[in-house]
Structure 1
Amino acid sequence: MASPKVWFITGSSSGFGRSMTEYALSKGDIVVATLRKPQVLSDLEAQYSADKLLVLKVDVTRQEDIDEAFARTRSAFGRLDVVFNNAGYALISEIEGTPDDKARELFETNFWGATNVSRAAVKFFREVNEVGKGGIILQVSSVAGFHALPGMSYYAASKYALEGFSDGLAKELPASWNINICIIEPGVFNTNGNGAATVLAQHPAYADESFPASVLRQMLEGAVMEGDADKLTQTVYEVVQGGKIPKRLPMGLDALEMLNLRIDNLKATVDETKGWSVDLRRADGGLRIRA
């Protein structure tokens, strides 16, 4: 019988983070649950012993919190198998209506927080785990990471940035380290995290109800999303158990539809613009970087 996996989960207080914490524990795995308000998980602490659940106060925008959490994980369990990099939130606002400090705060959590956790995870997998055992980093992105929506441009930018970072990181890691990166791209799912989105006042220039950002605001107000968050986390868990980790994992038929639209648009761009690139090489040659 396989030994239980050790999970390190960020943003465990709600949404996918809480759901994955509960499910991994129910399957007999060990969870290091990190969140800004540990008391939120007092019910789970009452159900599970310290050798199964370690709850830590972590604000992913604070490097010292991240470092302490990985040190505590090493001290408590001596190994780590999966990082579910989930902490983040949405920001709904037109670009012109978004103050710089709000946009930067979003990136501090969604991008810098996630990437700093990733860096710490890679080091742990390489230097603490048995040589070659490696580990898995599950980056919780969004369809917004490849399909930006009006009124959520800064949120999309934070996810685009996370996806670029994750793609590059995956290509940097030697195969011998056995570290897998999987970018999870959920479509529209109903989580209690939906209500935690930061919604800023609408910029007056975009107040016309027919404008794209206004339409999005109207759609989101009071909406109940069709995706089941628990089904997503259970599916992701089964993917991990299966051992074959995809580089990307779009989740939901809506996500697949938007991904196909993105692919079609990119193919159309290649067809429409390739003529402009035919004769752009130096006459005397030079280094050509291939994909």
Structure 2
Amino acid sequence: MAPSTSSKVWLITGSSTGFGRAMTELVLSKGDIAVATLRTPSVIDDLASRYGKDRLLVLKLDVTKPQEITDAFATAVKHFGRIDAVFNNAGYGVFGETEAVPEDVARQMFEVDFWGAIHVSKEAIRVFREVNKPAGGRLLNNASSAGGIDNFPGLTYYCAAKSALVAFSEALSREVSPEWNIKVIAISPGAFRTPSLSHIVNVPPHPAYEHLSKARAGFVDALVPTQLDTEKGVDVLYRIAALPEPPVFFPLIGVDAIETVKAKWAERTKATETAALWSQELSLAAPGSKA
């Protein structure tokens, strides 16, 4: 069933809770169409019961399985004829020191947070370019937290995956041809009121890292007072996606996210200024340079 020309078709991963669920509800409230994907579709039966399949299509999707990604996009296209926006949101965190987290646990998180997001991104770009008439679309990659900007002890692997997703998104945005009318947005939200904290895989502490025990114990408690309204957050994302030229990198409102970005830039600016002196020395030593 082809949607009206005024309605946008959104495919959303990780639609069970948090940002994914909130974006699904917002899209529907705006009169658009949602393709809600998640590992256990029955989790949003309450939402499915309120909307017909001409407005809400619920699909089973585990982003660690590339074939399921391909199938989900194909089903959405068959049902609606196009996909206008993809909210690449599925992911979770692992909390534990670098030496404490078993490699298989870290790798599984990367399969979801990084490789899963990449496989979704690749299929989104292909559909935007080759299926949509006219070509075009919006890809919103959710780096899930300020962990995609700064790096926190105890969240080493999570921050690495999210930083990689931001870098991937920025590079991807420079690869797509302007003729395709595809916009890529890397989102790094601050602390929002979502169930994500309760979904973190907590690894038993490594005995050598007792000096981080207080930080570990106070991690969740420190975030709770600063948490922002998720519904307001996705509303901002919805409006950002509608801009003719949305920003490639978007630290999603919230004083904590903005301050994290500013602090990180200040730190790197200082490091660059220090390195400039050494770089000048290297340049002077290069063959053909003037002493």
Q: Note whether the superposition's TM-score is higher than 0.5.
A: yes
1:277 aligned to 268, 276, 279, which one? 279
Give the paired residue count.
281
- Is the aligned partner of 1:244 residue 2:245? yes
SS in 2 for 1:84: strand
1:219 Cα deviation (Å)?
3.0
Q: Which runs of 5+ in 2 are unaligned?
A: none
In structure 2, C-alpha distance between the alignment counterparts of 1:48 and 1:222, rounded to whole Å = 38
1:221 Cα deviation (Å)?
5.0
1:205 Cα deviation (Å)?
1.5
User: Contact 2:82–2:131 at 8 Å: present in 1 too?
Assistant: yes
Give the % identical residues: 42
- The residue that corresponds to 1:259 in the other structure is 261
User: Contact 1:11–1:34 at 8 Å: present in 2 too?
Assistant: yes
- The residue that corresponds to 1:234 in the other structure is 235
User: Contact 1:150–1:213 at 8 Å: present in 2 too?
Assistant: no
- The residue that corresponds to 1:219 in the other structure is 219
| C-alpha RMSD of the superposition | 1.7
Matches within 5 A, 1:54-203: 54-131=57-134, 133-141=135-143, 142-203=145-206
1:113 Cα deviation (Å)?
0.1
User: Contact 1:182–1:248 at 8 Å: present in 2 too?
Assistant: yes
- Give the TM-score, by structure 2 length: 0.92
Partner amino acid, structure 2, of 1:120: E
User: Contact 2:13–2:37 at 8 Å: present in 1 too?
Assistant: yes
SS in 2 for 1:56: strand
1:223 Cα deviation (Å)?
5.6
Partner amino acid, structure 2, of 1:254: D
In structure 2, C-alpha distance between the alignment counterparts of 1:168 and 1:279, rounded to whole Å = 31
User: Contact 1:110–1:158 at 8 Å: present in 2 too?
Assistant: yes
Query: What are the superposed Cα offsets for residues 108-134 of structure 1, whole Å, 9 maximum, x if unpaired?
Result: 000000000000000000000014x31
Partner amino acid, structure 2, of 1:274: A
Q: Which runs of 5+ in 1 are unaligned?
A: 286-291
Partner amino acid, structure 2, of 1:40: V
Partner amino acid, structure 2, of 1:197: I
1:35 Cα deviation (Å)?
0.2
1:169 Cα deviation (Å)?
0.6
- Give the TM-score, by structure 1 length: 0.92
Closer, same or farther: CA 222–263 of 1 in aligned 2, 3 Å: closer
SS in 2 for 1:278: helix
Partner amino acid, structure 1, of 2:232: K
